Amino acid sequence: MLIAIPDVLDADGVARLRALIDPADWVDGNATSGTQSALAKRNAQLPEDSAAGQAAGAMVLDALAATPRFVAAALPRKVYPPLFNRYAGGQEFGAHVDTAIRIRRGSDFRIRSDLSATLFLDDPDGYDGGELVIEGAFGEQRVKLPAGHMVLYPASSVHRVTPVTRGVRAASFFWIQSMVRDDGARALLFELDQGVQAAAAAMGQEHPESVRLTGVYHNLLRRWAEA
């Protein structure tokens, strides 16, 4: 399931976040790469322990908590502290699959990476290339969203970032361990949630059909979730 989530950050939020990360000290992006990714990855990244990166990551987490579409789509149990990368001058990230278990260095924090997320921090007309290309059951999907918008996709998918040949492409990226491990079950719950919201808007939350659909949603979540 690939889901675009608009307006995680508004223009002011993007500007405040960029004011933190742009002047910071960036390092080789392979600082957090697995063996396979290191062969394909050419970009710059903020160190995980940098003050700027941690402050900006906290801003992203606050924004996610206030974004109902993210909560409904991801059903997050754990979120890896957001990281930040940027591409310029032909840099790219070749085809790879994200590591199944992400461990934060110097801590006992670890998650199973069910979902990957990319939060775009530059508008598409500011750079050439830089599409996030995700391979799925229906072929390749190319994603290049406005600043402040985010895409969620299965961490198990093969994906890549095409070379950035003009300008700079900055983004936040991170992983989510969902309460519902199975992608198909999670997709069904998301579609049902959207239906529940539409029914409530059309008929009212106290209408018997709204109550019935809400009950179905929660009973399925109760069946599939790992809390």
pLDDT per residue as tens digits for the range 65-116? 999 999 999 999 999 999 999 999 999 999 999 999 999 888 899 999 999 9
Q: Which CATH number fits domain 3-178: 2.60.120.620, 2.102.10.10, 2.40.240.10, 3.40.50.300?
A: 2.60.120.620
163-211 confidence digits (pLDDT tens)? 999 999 999 999 999 999 999 999 999 999 999 999 999 999 999 999 9
Q: What is the rounded distance in angstroms from the CA atom of residue 209 to the CA atom of residue 216? A: 11
With CA atoms as reference, report the closest residue to 155 among 174, 139, 132, 129. 174
| pTM of the entire predicted model | 0.93
pLDDT category at 22 given cuts 50, 70, 90 is very high
pLDDT at residue 33, rounded to an integer: 54
pLDDT at residue 137, rounded to an integer: 80
pLDDT at residue 35, rounded to an integer: 55
| Amino acid, single-letter form, for residue 138 | F
Residue 96 among known ligand-binding residues: yes
Residue 183 among known ligand-binding residues: no
User: Taking the domain 183-224, which CATH number applies?
Assistant: 4.10.860
Residues of the chain with CATH 2.60.120.620: 3-178
Rounded to the nearest integer, the mean pLDDT of the chain is 94
30-55 confidence digits (pLDDT tens)? 765 555 555 678 999 999 999 999 99
Residue 98 among known ligand-binding residues: yes
Q: Helices 51-65 and 11-21 meet at what angle, rounded to 10? A: 160
pLDDT at residue 1, rounded to an integer: 86
Q: How many helices (H) and strands (E) does the chain have?
A: 6, 16
Ordered DSSP codes for 1-19 = --EEETTSS-HHHHHHHHH
**Residue % of the chain over a pLDDT of 90:** 89
User: How far, in Å, are 24, 75, 112, 113 from residue 101 at the CA level?
Assistant: 28, 18, 5, 6
Residues of the chain with CATH 4.10.860: 183-224
User: Residue 198: enclosing H or E segment and its boundaries?
Assistant: helix 183-203
Residue 193 among known ligand-binding residues: no
pLDDT at residue 117, rounded to an integer: 98
